[in-house]
Amino acid sequence: MTTSTASINPRMRTTAYEALLKRLNKIADLQSVQNLLQWDQDICLPDGASQARSIQIGTIAEMQHELSSSNTTRLLIEAAEAELQAEGFDNDSDEVAMINAARRDYQSKVCLPTELVSRFGTLVAEAQEVWQQARESSNFALFQPYLTELVELSRQKGRYLGFAEHPYDALLDEYEPGMTADELRSIFAPLKQRLLDLRGTFSTGAKIDDSFLRLNYSTEKQFEFCKRLLESMGVANDYSRFDSHTSAFTTSIANCFDVRLTGRIVPDYLNMAIFSTIHEGGHALFDRGINPAYARTPLAEIHSMGLHESQSRLWENLIGRSLQFWTYHYPILQATFPDQLGKVTLEDFYRAINKVQNSQIRLEADEISYSLHIILRFELELALIEGSLTVADLPAAWNQGFEELFGTRPENDSKGVLQDIHWAGGAFGYFPTYVLGNLISAQLLQQIKLDIPTLEQNISEGDFQPLRQWLSENVHRFGRKYQTKDLVMRITKSPIDADAFCTYLDEKFSRIYQVH
Amino acid sequence: MTTSTASINPRMRTTAYEALLKRLNKIADLQSVQNLLQWDQDICLPDGASQARSIQIGTIAEMQHELSSSNTTRLLIEAAEAELQAEGFDNDSDEVAMINAARRDYQSKVCLPTELVSRFGTLVAEAQEVWQQARESSNFALFQPYLTELVELSRQKGRYLGFAEHPYDALLDEYEPGMTADELRSIFAPLKQRLLDLRGTFSTGAKIDDSFLRLNYSTEKQFEFCKRLLESMGVANDYSRFDSHTSAFTTSIANCFDVRLTGRIVPDYLNMAIFSTIHEGGHALFDRGINPAYARTPLAEIHSMGLHESQSRLWENLIGRSLQFWTYHYPILQATFPDQLGKVTLEDFYRAINKVQNSQIRLEADEISYSLHIILRFELELALIEGSLTVADLPAAWNQGFEELFGTRPENDSKGVLQDIHWAGGAFGYFPTYVLGNLISAQLLQQIKLDIPTLEQNISEGDFQPLRQWLSENVHRFGRKYQTKDLVMRITKSPIDADAFCTYLDEKFSRIYQVH
């Protein structure tokens, strides 16, 4: 990946770059350790130790911050950059990508004033607790002052981070590097209309019974079945670990060498365990597939949530809710739960797991409604950050926006604007990545079907190897090397847009709802 | 705990001391993180991640070493020391103990040359692997060159660490601060003779059947019963965690707030699970009982292995193998395993778990033979370090020493000199702490019985609260504050000696073997 080095003393050639790498390795190790401290807190920690654990996380985070924001790091980046330039390294080389990532990380650490970071951290900790109470009692007023300060600080944050057009862009950039509010607007506007049209069409279609998904299912057997699904997907035991937990998540403890995921298993709704597991399995395969040579460097840390989500959603929805997937797995599921599913046909099961629910709750929404939830969130957070909407007016704006999209008003704020934790966590600019994930997953699948003509056949035989290999070669291995827009263009020769996703929904749900 | 501060500006008073504490907190957090990385490696880590984990442990260990051996740390210690002296702090205060511990830790980090530490680390890693092969094939020659270098480096280590009388003292000091080879010799010589006499007496006594301990016992049920034992002992779930593992150990992840222990459970020998769990439970209670104000400081890190072992052995043997303990717990055990134990009386069970086995293997030895194994180890490692015995002559010396003590020669080196990993780990001076633990546990119990006249009654009713409280108040809470010799003197008004232990063995086994 390097070009001519003829005139360079070979001993000198990599000195600065390697010194930088060594430092980046240390910073990455401290991140892995924080991930372990957090994972352990979720899965293993005795209840009485949570305060002690917060202190430990604080110590490591502080050490990591000191290292990554230090002047030495800046100097190492500059020296390595000069070195690579002198040696004429290709812009497409890993080395140049490494330096770009390191510079970006350094700048994001130093551009925010310490007091702002510290106040933001304290506020988020408080706000999340208050949000929990507010949601439980459906009392927005309780949460309002916290959200107001969070919006104000986020606006400040945006100004410090810097932006060309819109302060929201600076925040969005944290979760979706290179994306802007304007781009999102131009992608989301046609998507919104097409989703509304699709929903209208299918609401007149056949009725679907999914009551058998809500019988009593042994959580132990569900766990065993979920492990079986991960095995099918190729989430290897040697490098990963699967637990049951009250929320589903995936984390890397040592980059691609140690990926840990959880599924959320409840006794009275079979979808929860199955699709949270397949979803996290998709994330896990991404983390597992990143070039091992990137381990302990910034290139192994994916910043594009949209790209990561494209992997989880590809598996969860496009693969995991397909008829082919269950052609292979449904007999196994039936054998696991003969009492509940013995008399349910494959076709009825397939239709049930794809029922359009129109739920007030994002997490329970079907594939069509889901993106509408997000588009509403995006419009509201954009308005909050640009100052055209006050926090006081937010619940009314949510209810009105929801009614326009779904035809009903939420029962209360707890099932409305208070349902999601993201804003309480200070995350503005995160929501749209969920839709980007949906769109990209469909664009990728279109390309995959061209490249692997036997894909559906393979899946219906439980053979995921060709798919996994395609994802690994075209997406996973690059880690953070490319911007997501560029990667999608590279793979599909198209910018990120809604066409593939809407076509996919149209074809799939037309068949399910027998509407033509 | 402080004395007059009248003439001191209160803002100045604690400046240096608190700055030191802050640094010690950071160093302690890095130790806790290493403990978690290690625990997680043993209990949770996917197989494929072990190399990545070693690197992470290395990074944190290096950061900890840099912090603890830095000149800043030395300056902080000196400044804090000057401050406390100026303020006339009591020598018995926590503050003075803290500085002493910090100074000691600092010196142990800086007095060894980096190359020696590094070579020792590499050698130990290799030697442990080779030892494993050597033990499996009973091939001492394989291990000999590694052990030879380890002995040589340990002698060098001793010289760097410094000693008054014997290089062995410097090594011993790592595991038993303040103890010397001469003191050990004068304690062990009479002990050896009395143990041999006792064994001679009991070998003529009644025959004991313990075959029912070697039936098939469900490991799940054993695990549940062990959890029940820990509950009795008061190892609280809120601050600890219990797992089953191939070896039994205890570690603190956040000092007294997060203590994790494992039991070793095998299907065909009931003693293993029960007594490894009670043993580790004793360690866990110690760690749990250390003054919470010492958390994140050197005073929470126990260096005296003898003192720690006195707690595990007190619970394992003196309490856990007593008739009173099983008066309460045996009915529960019987109900758990009615097929295996339904017809075995309490008295027969009690005699079986105390059977004198005379095993060639230390870990399977009874309470009398056990200390003889250790005394032999001590004599040999002392001779190795002073140079009066070569590694080449070691197996013969072990076999001869063993025959003198036990009347038989080991079947082979794997059941002889190769049976223990300690020397391969570079730990010379560790073995004698096991015997010190035995002796101290008996000295403490003698005092406890004076202080709690209802002790036996309490135990036979499953009430461990008075015992636990006594241990907490007299031993645990002090953490590392006192030297073990001083603590034993403080509690029992006696130096460490073998009287209490031999009296205990005599009384207990006379009854069991019906010899008078």
Helix axes B167-175, B367-386, angle to 10 degrees: 140
Task: Enumerate the residues of chain B whose CB falls inside 8 A of the CB of residue A51.
Answer: 257
Please list, in sequence order, all residues whose beta carbon lies within 8 angstroms of the beta carbon of residue A334, skipping any fewer than 6 positions away. Answer: A341, A342, A344
Q: What is the mean pLDDT of residues A60-69?
A: 94
Residue B516 has pLDDT above 80, yes or no: no
pLDDT at B364: 87
Tell whether the model's pLDDT for residue A6 goes beyond 60.
no
Whether residue A52 and residue B240 make contact (CB cut-off 8 A), yes or no, is no
Mean local confidence (pLDDT), B47-59: 92
pLDDT score for B15: 87
- Within 8 A of A61 by CB-CB distance, chain B residues are none
Q: Please say whether the beta carbons of A261 and A249 come within 8 A.
A: yes
Residue type, B130: V
The residue assigned the tokens 């503050």 is B95
What's residue B10's pLDDT?
43
- Strands A259-263 and A250-252, how do they pair? antiparallel
CB contact under 8 A, B48 and A295: no
Contact between A320 and A278 (Cβ < 8 Å): yes
**Nearest neighbour of A56 by CB, restricted to B29, B52, B236:** B29
Chain B residues 251-310 within an 8 A CB cutoff of chain A: 253-255, 257-258, 295-296
> If you average pLDDT over every residue of chain B, what do you get?
94
Res B11 pLDDT > 70: no
pLDDT of residue A12 exceeding 70, the answer is no
Q: Which residue in this structure is represented by tokens 């397909």?
A: A322
Which pLDDT score is estimated for B8? Answer: 40
B175 to chain A, closest Cα gap in Å = 27
pLDDT at residue A30, as a whole number: 97
Residue B223's φ and ψ, nearest 5 degrees, are: -60, -45
Q: Strand order of the sheet with strand B250-252?
A: B240-244, B259-263, B250-252
- The verdict on A54 touching B (C-beta cutoff 8 Å) is no
Which one of B35, B62, B63 would you mutate to disrupt binding with A, by most A Cβ within 10 Å of its Cβ?
A: B63
Can you tell me the mean pLDDT for B72-82? 96
Span A306-332, pLDDT tens digits:
999 999 999 999 999 999 999 999 999
CA–CA distance, A80 with A96 (Å, rounded to integer): 9
Residue B131 confidence class, pLDDT cut points 50, 70, 90:
very high
pLDDT of residue B357: 81
What would the mean pLDDT of B161-186 be, rounded to a whole number? 94
Cβ-defined contact of B40 to A36 (cutoff 8 Å): yes
A250 and A259 in contact (C-beta within 8 Å)? yes
Tell me how far apart the alpha carbons of residues A273 and A279 are, in angstroms, rounded to a whole number. 10
Burial environment of residue B514 by CB neighbours within 10 A (0 to 12, 13 to 18, 19 or more): exposed
Name the residue among A45, A240, A254 with its Cβ closest to that of B56: A254
For position B5, what pLDDT does the model report? 38
- Give the chain B residue whose CA is nearest to the CA of A31: B56
- Choosing from A83, A87, A176, A280, the catalytic residue is A280
pLDDT by residue (tens digit) across A80-137? 999 999 999 999 999 999 999 999 999 999 999 989 988 998 999 899 999 999 999 9
Which residue in the set B33, B236, B240 is minimally distant from A56, CB to CB?
Answer: B33
Taking CB atoms and an 8 Å limit, are A37 and B32 in contact across chains? no
B241 Cβ under 8 Å from any chain A Cβ: yes
Our answer to whether residue B280 is catalytic in this structure is yes
pLDDT bin (cut points 50, 70, 90) of residue A66 is very high
Tell which of A59, A63, A70, A256 to mutate to test the B interface (max B CBs under 10 Å). A59
Q: For an interface test with A, give the residue of B45, B64, B227 to mutate (most A CBs within 10 A).
A: B45
Q: What is the pLDDT of residue B14?
A: 58
Q: How far is CA B433 from the centre of its chain?
A: 7
Rounded to the nearest angstrom, the minimum Cα separation between B64 and chain A is 11
Distance of CA B262 to the CA centre of its chain: 15
Average per-residue pLDDT for chain A: 94
| A268-299 tens-digit pLDDT | 999 999 999 999 999 999 999 999 999 999 99
B contacts of A47 (beta carbons < 8 Å): 237-238
**Which of B81, B83, B280, B309 is flagged as catalytic?**
B280
CA distance A238 to chain B (A): 5
How much is the pLDDT for B202? Answer: 85
Looking at residue A3, its pLDDT comes to 37
Contact state of B56 with A240 under an 8 Å Cβ cutoff: no
pLDDT band at A237 (very low <50, low <70, confident <90, very high): confident
> Cβ B26–A51 below 8 Å, yes or no?
no
pLDDT value of residue B201: 87
Higher pLDDT, A6 or A16: A16
CA atoms of B504 and A199, how far apart (whole Å): 82
Q: What is the pLDDT of residues B305-353, one digit of tens each?
A: 999 999 999 999 999 999 999 999 999 999 999 999 999 999 999 999 9
Distance (Å) from the alpha carbon of A297 to chain B's nearest alpha carbon: 13
Between A and B, how many CB-CB pairs are < 8 A? 97
By the 8 A CB rule, do A101 and A290 touch?
no
Any chain B CB within 8 A of the CB of A42?
A: no
Residues 400-439 of B with CB under 8 A from A: none
Contact between A25 and B254 using a beta-carbon 8 Å cutoff: no
Say yes or no for a CB contact (<8 Å) between A49 and B258. yes
Interface mutation target, options A21, A42, A53, chain B, most CBs of B under 10 Å:
A53
| CB–CB contact B255 A52 (8 Å) | yes
Element (H, E) at B451: helix B432-451
Q: Do B46 and A237 touch (CB under 8 A)?
A: yes
A255: which chain B residues are within 8 Å (Cβ-Cβ)?
Answer: 52
Characterise B110 by phi-psi region: left (phi > 0), alpha (psi -120 to 50), beta (else).
alpha
Neighbours of B88 (CB within 10 A): 12
- In angstroms, the Cα distances linking A307 to A120, A384, A501, B358 are 27, 26, 15, 65
Q: What percent of chain B has pLDDT over 70?
A: 97
Q: What does the pLDDT look like over B477-498, one tens digit per residue?
A: 999 999 999 999 999 999 999 9
Angle between helices B465-474 and B432-451 (to 10 degrees): 120
% of chain A exceeding 70 in pLDDT: 97
Q: Is A258 within 8 Å of B26 when comparing Cβ atoms?
A: no
Q: What pLDDT is recorded for position B225?
A: 98
Q: Choose among A29, A47, A53: nearest Cβ to B59.
A: A29
Contact A44 B241 (CB under 8 A): yes
Measure B33 CA to nearest chain A CA, in Å. 8
Are the C-beta atoms of residues B302 and B252 closer than 8 Å to each other? no
Alpha-carbon distances, residue B370 vs A176, B175, B317 (angstroms): 64, 19, 12
Instruction: Give B204→chain A minimum CA distance, Å.
Output: 50
Query: Is the pLDDT at A496 greater than 90, yes or no?
Result: yes
How high is the pLDDT of residue A19? 95
Q: How many residues does chain A have?
A: 516
| pLDDT tens, position by position, B379-416 | 999 999 999 999 999 999 999 999 999 999 999 999 99
Between chains, do B48 and A241 touch, taking CB under 8 Å as contact? no
* CB spacing of B36 vs A32 below 8 angstroms: no
- Select the residue of A33, A237, A255 nearest B33 (Cβ to Cβ): A33
pLDDT digits (tens, 9 = 90+) for A434-464: 999 999 999 999 999 999 999 999 999 999 9
Residue B6: predicted pLDDT: 38
* B446 pLDDT higher than 60: yes
pLDDT at A357: 81
Strand order in A259-263's β-sheet? Answer: A240-244, A259-263, A250-252
